[in-house]
């Protein structure tokens, strides 16, 4: 049987494994297919904060400075080059040993009990950010970040296919080339896989994912490279139309859910079945033609094996506890929101495991991986499960902690429901508010009842569950006064809202609103050059423009966000603090209570 290597590329939050690879691995191993899973995302962050890589970065800076000086002597420097030369000239004199010591110490803090000293934790996060600035300069004009995860090569845009395919050939700005050569190629040499599968789950992974694909195909032409993941599914039609991707980057694509489809692909490559029979597959046939298989497969979630995390580098995640992701449902039980494009990743919308199966699987994962912290990655946790699951978890004495995304629900008003949720280990909830204005709530088809939302928040606060509230400004036709309703709701309820995340409305290609632009009174501005775009610029007939919504978003963070500004921001890190201290009342986490927090004395360096 052919050997498979599964790769999760940068960039994702490096606090816990992403569930895609363990889900695929479980089915492959169940079928007797040898598989190695590589979380290159967390390995790359661990590598960035190492002596080896930072000394490599120093040599890059020196080489680039030497090149610019030579061009200066030739008289060919632009104004931008002169500015870069000056920056590189200054930064080469920093005390690199000092910063190496800081990030080594910072990794130690993030992975030990010292993490729970918020002064040390914040110091560590800032140490990572400082070093990322140093790394970014070596790849100028790229901007490489630790957290939030929003790195950008800047000169290459992932939503333009020609630029996405050109970036893997530019070692000057594309840091993922070095990541591939230093981390991925050695792994391939050691494991000798026949098939490499790369899971691209988020838009920010497109650049690294396609870079890995192209470099692997070039260096190892005998390896079958396949890609999958939510973003690949959303771009399936665009990729299928562009044979260049199949010629230069990958041999096949698996769309929608990939567990069994990948296993069947491996069997087909072993000549057990024709590729044309593999569901969910797009591939290039022997004649060079791109084929889109009509056969589709939806997973029966109750029949899938337990996710298999064996082989992932638990010791490299930036958390002191093992946090295990878990999916009890697929799709969204609500499935009506007009702004949301998540449903594009599934053929069928909502499927759920039985509550007793969920409890059994949580117990098995707890025991196998010695873990007590679980992250439900469901798109929206169903109210029926929120009611039914906690009493069963309590009866089984799971003794775990958990967190999830959830809607404000009129079905979740009784105090006993919240008592049980807290007793079962629920410690934080991420609520999608979107808007607090009645007309906009109806337009987005969220159907939130504000009174119910307030009850949910009060009950969560009472039982010790942290409430994070998410919303946005600028849904088409929303007026300034209607946007103000959301702002007022948040400010008026600071005492029961622990943290807040606001956005501005984005018109996603696969969201229902995009298919009804006339109904919502918007004119879409499509740019033919942006052939891989997943969202679009638009102008509304009435209400806030995109610029107005962005201004509201910026003003909110400038003028109103202070009550919720946190010293640590990753939801997994906040979750760990709540479980460690046993309370959702954590004043030390807020910047407002520690205005001096960014000028702390450094912990003693351990080199």
- Tokens found for residue 279: 């569901």
Structure confidence at residue 601 (pLDDT) = 43
Distance CA 217, CA 215 (A): 6
Helices 480-492, 546-555: inter-axial angle, 10-degree rounding: 20
Q: What is the 3-state secondary structure (H, E, C) of 289-329?
A: CEEECCCCCCCCHHHCCCCCCCCCCHHHCCCCCCEEEECCE
Give tens-digit pLDDT for 460-511: 999 999 999 999 999 999 999 999 999 999 999 999 999 999 999 999 999 9
Per CATH, 4-42+173-292 and 321-593 having the same topology is answered no
Q: What is the mean pLDDT of the chain?
A: 95
DSSP state of 183: I
Nearest to 234 by CA among 533, 581, 605, 602: 533
Give tens-digit pLDDT for 55-89: 999 999 999 999 999 999 998 989 989 999 999 99
Nearest to 546 by CA among 517, 525, 567, 576: 525
Reported as a pLDDT band with limits 50, 70 and 90, residue 604 is very low
Helices 79-91, 118-138: inter-axial angle, 10-degree rounding: 130
Contact 320, 124 (CB under 8 A): no
Q: Where are the domains of the chain?
A: 4-42+173-292, 47-138, 321-593
Domain 4-42+173-292 falls in which CATH fold? Rossmann fold (3.40.50)
List Cβ neighbours of 289 (8 Å cut-off, separation of 6 or more). none
List Cβ neighbours of 601 (8 Å cut-off, separation of 6 or more). none
Q: Which helix (H) or strand (E) holds 359?
A: helix 355-369
Q: Provide the residue count of the chain.
A: 607
Per DSSP, what are the bridge partners of residue 566?
Answer: 590
Give tens-digit pLDDT for 24-35: 999 999 999 999
In the block, tokens 């009493």 appear at: 391
Distance CA 49, CA 109 (A): 13
CATH class of 321-593: alpha beta
Q: Which helix (H) or strand (E) holds 509?
A: none
Q: Which string of b and e fits 455-492 if b means at least 16 CB within 10 Å?
A: bbbbbbbebbbbbbbebbbbbbbbeeebbebbbebbee
Contact 385, 328 (CB under 8 A): yes
Give tens-digit pLDDT for 161-178: 999 999 999 999 999 999
DSSP state of 305: P
Q: ∠ at Cα 570 (135, 208), nearest 5°?
A: 45
Distance CA 218, CA 249 (A): 8
This prediction's pTM: 0.95
């Amino acid at each position: 049987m052919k050997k498979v290597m599964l790769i999760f590329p940068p960039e994702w939050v490096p606090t816990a494994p992403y569930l895609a690879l363990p889900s695929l691995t479980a089915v492959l191993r169940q079928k007797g297919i040898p598989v190695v899973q590589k979380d290159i995302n967390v390995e790359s962050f661990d590598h960035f904060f190492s002596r080896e890589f930072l000394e490599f970065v120093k040599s890059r800076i020196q080489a680039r400075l030497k090149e610019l000086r030579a061009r200066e002597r030739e008289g060919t420097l632009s104004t931008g080059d002169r500015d870069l030369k000056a920056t590189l000239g200054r930064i080469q004199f920093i005390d690199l040993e000092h910063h190496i010591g800081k990030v080594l110490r910072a990794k130690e803090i993030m992975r030990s009990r010292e993490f729970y000293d918020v002064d040390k934790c914040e110091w560590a996060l800032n140490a990572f950010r400082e070093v990322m600035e140093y790394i970014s300069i070596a790849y100028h004009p790229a901007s490489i970040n630790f957290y939030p995860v929003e790195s950008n090569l800047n000169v290459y845009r992932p939503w333009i296919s020609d630029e996405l395919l050109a970036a893997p050939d530019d070692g000057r700005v594309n840091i993922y080339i070095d990541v591939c050569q230093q981390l991925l190629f050695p792994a391939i040499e050691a494991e000798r896989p026949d098939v490499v599968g790369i899971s691209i789950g988020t838009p920010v992974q497109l650049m690294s994912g396609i870079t890995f694909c192209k470099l692997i195909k070039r260096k190892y032409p005998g390896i079958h490279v396949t890609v999958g993941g939510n973003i690949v599914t959303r771009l399936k039609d665009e990729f299928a139309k562009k044979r260049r991707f199949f010629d230069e980057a990958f041999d096949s694509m698996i769309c929608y859910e990939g567990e069994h489809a990948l296993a069947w692909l491996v069997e087909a490559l072993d000549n057990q079945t024709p590729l044309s029979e593999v569901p969910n597959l797009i591939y290039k046939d022997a004649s060079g033609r791109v084929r889109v298989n009509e056969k589709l497969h939806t997973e029966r979630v109750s029949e899938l094996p337990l996710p298999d995390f064996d082989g992932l580098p638990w010791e490299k995640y930036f958390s002191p506890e093992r946090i295990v992701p878990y999916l009890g449902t697929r799709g969204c039980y609500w499935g009506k929101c007009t702004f949301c494009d998540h449903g594009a990743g599934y053929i069928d919308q909502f499927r759920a495991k039985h509550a007793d199966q969920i409890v059994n699987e949580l117990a098995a994962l707890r025991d196998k991986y010695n873990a007590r912290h679980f992250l439900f990655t469901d798109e929206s946790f169903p109210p029926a499960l929120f009611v039914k699951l906690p009493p069963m978890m309590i009866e089984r004495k799971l003794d775990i902690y958990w967190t999830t995304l959830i809607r404000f629900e009129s079905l979740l008003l009784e105090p006993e429901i919240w008592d049980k949720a807290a007793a079962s280990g629920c410690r934080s909830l991420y609520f999608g508010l979107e808007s607090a204005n009645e007309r906009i709530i109806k337009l987005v088809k969220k159907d939130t009842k504000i009174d119910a939302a307030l009850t949910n928040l009060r009950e969560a606060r009472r039982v010790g569950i942290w409430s994070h509230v998410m919303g946005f400004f600028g849904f088409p036709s929303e007026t300034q006064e209607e946007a103000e309703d959301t702002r007022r709701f948040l400010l008026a309820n600071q005492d029961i809202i622990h943290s807040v995340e606001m956005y501005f409305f984005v018109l996603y290609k696969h969201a229902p609103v995009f298919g009804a632009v006339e109904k919502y009174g918007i004119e879409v501005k499509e740019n033919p050059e942006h052939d891989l775009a997943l969202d679009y610029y638009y102008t509304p007939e009435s209400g806030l423009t995109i610029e107005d919504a962005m201004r509201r978003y910026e003003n909110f963070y400038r003028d109103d966000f202070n009550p919720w500004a946190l010293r640590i921001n990753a939801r997994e890190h906040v979750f760990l603090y709540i479980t460690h201290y046993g309370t959702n009342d954590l004043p030390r986490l807020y910047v407002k209570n520690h205005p001096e927090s960014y000028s702390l004395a450094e912990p003693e360096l351990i080199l």
